[in-house]
Structure 1
């Protein structure tokens, strides 16, 4: 089977890339070893976050936030996106000092979307927050979406424009013969002039097949969801210096994250929960919101996610092969970036350039430089 572009990986980055290429008339084949949105892109917390981004990511994140506002209309789908705002709570004055230092850095770079709030403003937004909390930072543009629906919305929109999505197709080998990339799965061979590595927790293996080496690790971020509770929190909630992340849905259930990691085995495609860490995450949630002591946990799970040492993704061309590109290593915060990353990947493939500075995301940033 032949295509112009072959994408490895059916998460939101891969599906968004397939969509943006297919809408330009490019013949795209996407290979996913399990099913679309099986791993990080389908089981994450669904935060659509601009607040607290690394400075290098802010331009991409701003552009992606703009795309999220009309994504349902563009993809003709319900992604579940709602601009609820996000609040990072300051537990003490040290947290306020951290926020003020960040504000100065952000303003110097021309970014004014983050706003510091005082104790009274925090109470007005989150009446159930613990009385000891002194303020926080908020971004009114932020919100949430349904990760499984969002990823599949890109997948279906790509297919409507002619993309070929193949599930249950695990990559066994990838090699270049002349100008052609040849990918072999357990059943078929695929050929394309260009290959894109969006393989998530398995992306370092695909990168090696392309010829690039990268210090990627993987882990299993865990989530819990409660039974329905009286509504008490409209924004997505985080904390400045503690592992806190939760959101309450319209039906009253509360999704609790915070970055606690379970045990990941990518060889067997399995994760295992660390109940001690989940208990600490629950305790932290109660510390900030005493009302959560009444909550009953309904379900717990973990997904496989890829991490770079600096928690920044890899986005851009391969360094040791032509007509090969990477978009992986989003370190548990790539969901919001999906729409713009897909667009950028398509731009770079089709035109050789993009309006964004991708130097911080190059795959060889950890290579030793020989003087």
Structure 2
């Protein structure tokens, strides 16, 4: 069987893989996208759906800002609605030290193009009268919002195909190796694909491929604990979550126009990259609801009608791997978003497409280099960013 050839092979059909393919085609680069299941089936399709810039490490904000521009133009570029709503995103806190953090972060983020409003006292109660009395402050990002993760990655995949990309679903890649000036990619059935460059963005499974080039990373898998309630009147316009160093307090919610509330946060559940399955623990949902009652007491009567989870990949410093391999020319990575990759995904895809097609990008990627990991000890060089204490989608 004759191998299939292209300029770039993108492995992984989540939000990063599909947007990388989309932007490569916009630049006229031939691209083949390989996905082991269906596009958006894994973490990109089961997450909270938050389009959240605030709370990210400052180094991520240029990518997040670039991504927001794509979310704003999604209907125009994709020809279909992914339910992006610029509803605003709000973080609240219960402790004085976290109020101080809000103020410092707002000042630092302004230099990175993110304007935040920090509300306390009377201003807080007037803006959000439904909040529990323990809430001391709120940090509001007016231009952020949310979208439907079930729709987004498949829509970018279809748009890439309309622009000329080749999309192959239900193709499990098992081996990637250099071959001459390019790469040879083999799937589970023995089919071979060849490309001049390769992008690995296979989420929690990425280390299996990066390790084939001597660049393993200490990825952990975790299962987000998600739920949706019965529909009620549409009153909560802003996505909202708790910033805290206590994981069990870190819950978040958003309401969609038809009335249902999407809930998440708290302790993670079990997940497995071999079975591609993750589960919701009932006790986690019970504890989530207790925290939601603390955050917004009026949520107490709501009934949960469905729960779900997915397999997410986490790295020790909560920073993703984005950019070129440090050992192999023509090999690129985009994975390890530690539960906060949905919003930033299109910015990463556009930046990778720019880097692959031109050899340069205006956005600094040094922080996200795969070289920060030591393959011998599975440790990393770097400092855990303060803003990563509570990663809210």
After TM superposition, the score normalised by the length of structure 2 is: 0.90
More displaced stretch, 255-264 vs 91-100: 91-100
- Which residue number corresponds to residue 24 of structure 1? 27
- Which residue number corresponds to residue 248 of structure 1? 255
Separation in structure 2 between the aligned mates of residue 162 and residue 354 of structure 1, nearest angstrom: 24
1:247 is paired with a residue whose SS is: strand
User: Superposed, which structure 2 residues align to 1:316-355 within 5 Å?
Assistant: 316-355=323-362
Is 2:70 the counterpart of 1:74?
no
Q: 1:113 aligns with which of 109, 112, 115?
A: 115
Q: Deviations over 1:196-225 (max 9, x none)?
A: 001001000011123322122111111010
Q: 2:8 aligns with which of 5, 30, 47?
A: 5
- Which residue number corresponds to residue 132 of structure 1? 134
8 Å Cα contact 2:120/2:137 also seen in 1: yes
Identify unmatched segments of 5+ residues in structure 2. 382-393
Q: How big is the shift at 1:111?
A: 4.6
1:218 is paired with a residue whose SS is: strand
- Which residue number corresponds to residue 193 of structure 2? 190
8 Å Cα contact 1:136/1:240 also seen in 2: no
8 Å Cα contact 2:95/2:136 also seen in 1: yes
More displaced stretch, 344-353 vs 272-281: 272-281
Q: How big is the shift at 1:177?
A: 1.6
- Which residue number corresponds to residue 389 of structure 2? none
Q: How big is the shift at 1:123?
A: 2.8
Q: How big is the shift at 1:320?
A: 1.3
Is 2:370 the counterpart of 1:363?
yes
Identify unmatched segments of 5+ residues in structure 1. none
Is 2:96 the counterpart of 1:93?
yes
- Which residue number corresponds to residue 319 of structure 2? 312
Separation in structure 1 between the aligned mates of residue 223 and residue 156 of structure 2, nearest angstrom: 24
User: Superposed, which structure 2 residues align to 1:104-253 within 5 Å?
Assistant: 104-107=107-110, 109=111, 111-187=113-189, 188-241=191-244, 242-253=249-260
User: Superposed, which structure 2 residues align to 1:45-84 within 5 Å?
Assistant: 45-84=48-87
Q: How big is the shift at 1:306?
A: 0.9
1:35 is paired with a residue whose SS is: coil
- Which residue number corresponds to residue 279 of structure 1? 286
> Cα 1:30–1:286, aligned 2, differ >3 Å: closer, same or farther?
same
2:98 is paired with a residue whose SS is: helix
> Cα 1:93–1:296, aligned 2, differ >3 Å: closer, same or farther?
same
More displaced stretch, 76-85 vs 176-185: 176-185
Count of aligned positions:
369
Separation in structure 2 between the aligned mates of residue 99 and residue 190 of structure 1, nearest angstrom: 49
> Cα 1:25–1:101, aligned 2, differ >3 Å: closer, same or farther?
closer
